[in-house]
Amino acid sequence: MELEKYLDKVTDEKSFLDFVRVLQADKEDENRKEKENPSNPYSHGWNGWENSTIEGFLESAVARAEDSNFGKNLEPSSNQWKIFALFLYSGKIYE
């Protein structure tokens, strides 16, 4: 899945929801792959998910938000939809 392409296209509420749907599908795909062939427990999952629980996901999203001035250091934009999409994406990749 090309999740980053959807992230780059977030400009409004519709594109934000499109991104969230793709993020959800990406996690569902990883869960299926993990059931068939579990990845190394000391590494990320098959689709790059660092956090497999909602607690870990939210903890990482908050940590990256705090470390990056809520994404503004990563994406100097006034587009609040994109900033929030980055917040959710951080839950996937930040450890």
**What are the residue ranges spanned by the domains of the chain?**
11-37+47-93
pTM confidence score: 0.86
Residue 1: pLDDT over 60? no
pLDDT at 62: 95
Q: Which amino acid is residue 39, in one-letter code?
A: S
Of the chain, the percentage scoring pLDDT greater than 90 comes to: 68
pLDDT at 70: 79
Q: Count how many residues are written for the chain.
A: 95
Q: How many CB atoms lie under 10 A from the CB of residue 1?
A: 12
- The model's pLDDT over 26-70, given as tens digits with 9 standing for 90+, comes to 999 999 999 999 988 888 889 889 998 999 999 999 999 999 887
Angle (nearest 5°) at CA 23 between 41 and 30: 35
CA–CA separation, 8 and 47 (whole Å) = 18
Q: What b/e string do you get for 31-64 counting C-beta neighbours within 10 Å, with b at 16 or more?
A: eeeeeeeeeeeeebbbbebbbbeeeebeebbeeb
